[in-house]
Amino acid sequence: MSFKSRTLLFVICLFVVSNKLVATPKVKTIPIFNIQVDSLIEQQSIRNDMTQLELLVLYNDALKEKKPADSVNIFKKLAILNADLGQPEDALIYTEKYIKNTLDFSILNSEAYNVIRGSEAHKELSENYMLQIDWISFIFLYVALIGFFFTVIINFSKKANRCAKLFISGFVGVHSLFILEFVLYISNIQYRLPHTYLIAALTALLYGPFLYLYFKSVTYNFKFRTIDLLHFLPTLILIVYLFPMYSLSSNDKIEIMLEINNSYNINRYVIFISKVVSLFIYAILIGKFHYSRRKEEDSIKGKKPVNRWKKTIYAIHVIYLVSYIIYGLPVSGLMLSFPYFINYIQVSIMSVMVIYLAYMAYVQPEIFKSYSVGTSENTIPPLEKYQKSGLTNALSEELKGNLIRLFVEDKVFKENNINLEELSKRLNTTRHNTSQIINEHFNINFFELINKFRIQEAIRILKEDIHGSLNIIDIAYEVGYNNKVTFNKAFKKETSLTPSEFINMQIKKGLYK
């Protein structure tokens, strides 16, 4: 045999031997199309990991052979097998493929997933698809329920303006609905209740109108007119825009949530931009309306708590506007994502607002009353503690006259040690009667009455001091104050100016030489 023949024979033998060494077991060379994939587990006796590995190979091969329509069940088998074999990454891949093809989340109830519990893949599956009920979602849910309770119960109150009740309850209601939707979203309950998807979007443009109309209601006797319906026109347009999405089936909505169905592509930035514009416009309107009337409203004694309340609500509204912009930019796709906790900050601000509104409505129901600026017909009525007083109308008028004489002629307010007890002695009546006279006829308390006369006297002195020869502290002592700080606070509270600012204003007007 020649050298070439021997070499050729050696190569052939080497090739045969190598094929024998790397040959796969017969069980894995069975043509997959001859096996019913759904009955593989029934045909195989799964007693150990090797059998599961063999099945894993068979399913992977079957996935390559089967048509896409036949692959769904294989995804499920591969997901469970990979989970049972402790391969979390592959389990994640096939689980998501199965869920997105079937919308069936029950696969996650399989005990096989206990093997990969604690892995990053299982954590991702849990956060994305499994129910997530924790203390944060519970607190937000609790706040939403409080908000809904307030929305209903406030309308049964008889001590509040009807329009104010409706608008403030609507304002709280839309916030509560947003919080509820957020709870359903972070807990993945929305996959089980798909028709709750974007439920809060219907009310996205109601925040501003409700708050603005509430401010009008508690500022004067506001009566809702037909033209005021224009405030709700943008909401109607938004509902029409969203209606095709709301009319979709539950499966279609789940596919939208899973981002596997773009047949109805709702532009989130449309909702975001329109809501930001609405919040911004009404923030300006409310601010202009409120602050332009604040000085007039302060003249209505007893309404200062309402003004403080409105100022706080307005501040929270502005903070909410800023937080919503930060929250909405990444959600709408107009900017790169912010850290996820930003979402919680925004909802937390809404929750604080809801709790604050509900609490204040409980402890101060008078904040929902309306008062007319510039009139005395709608000032706060006397306190109930005076309704059963034995003070007759004739005696009341007599004491009122004596009280005015003490203040106007005798100028008792200049005495720095004057108090309600001393004033009652000079009126020759009881402390209770003196307090009642002041409240009934002046709609203020004793200290407010004293300060009012003292500041009016100080203004008179300042105007007469055309040469500016008097010091502020001298004027403070003259009208009955013991120190400059108290005088400055009382002066600014009454006139919205400090004594120095008042003097400068007089100089600008040319009243001082």
- Give dist(CA 224, CA 241) in Å, integer: 27
Confidence of residue 346 (pLDDT cuts 50, 70, 90): confident
Q: What's the rounded mean pLDDT across residues 224-246?
A: 89
Cα-based torsion angle of the residue sequence 180, 186, 192, 195 in order, rounded to the nearest 10 degrees? 50
Using a cut of 0.85, tell me whether the model's pTM lies above it: no
| Closest by Cα among 147, 188, 201, 141 to 331 | 201
Give the Cβ contact number of residue 492 at 10 Å. Answer: 15
Q: What's the rounded mean pLDDT across residues 74-93?
A: 84
Q: Which two tokens stand for residue 45?
A: 């006796």
Write the CATH number of the domain with boundaries 135-368: 1.20.1070
| Domain spans, the chain | 26-129, 135-368, 388-508
Residue 18, pLDDT score:
40
232: number of CA atoms within 13 Å, CB side? 12
Residue 29, pLDDT score:
31
Task: Classify domain 26-129 at the CATH topology level.
Answer: 1.25.40
- Give dist(CA 123, CA 110) in Å, integer: 15
Q: Which two tokens stand for residue 293?
A: 């009337």
Write the CATH number of the domain with boundaries 388-508: 1.10.10.60
Cα-based torsion angle of the residue sequence 499, 503, 504, 510 in order, rounded to the nearest 10 degrees? 160
- Asked whether the predicted pLDDT for residue 230 surpasses 80, the reply is yes
Q: What's the rounded mean pLDDT across residues 473-501?
A: 87
Residue 209, pLDDT score:
92
- Of the given ranges (210-224, 373-387, 393-407, 494-508), which has the lowest mean pLDDT? 373-387
Residue 118, pLDDT score:
87
**SS3 of 102-135:** HCCCHHHHCHHHHCCCCCHHHHHHHHHHCCCCCH
Residue 140, pLDDT score:
94
Residue type, 259: E
pLDDT tens, position by position, 353-408:
888 888 777 666 656 655 444 333 334 444 444 544 556 777 878 888 888 888 88
Residue 266, pLDDT score:
62
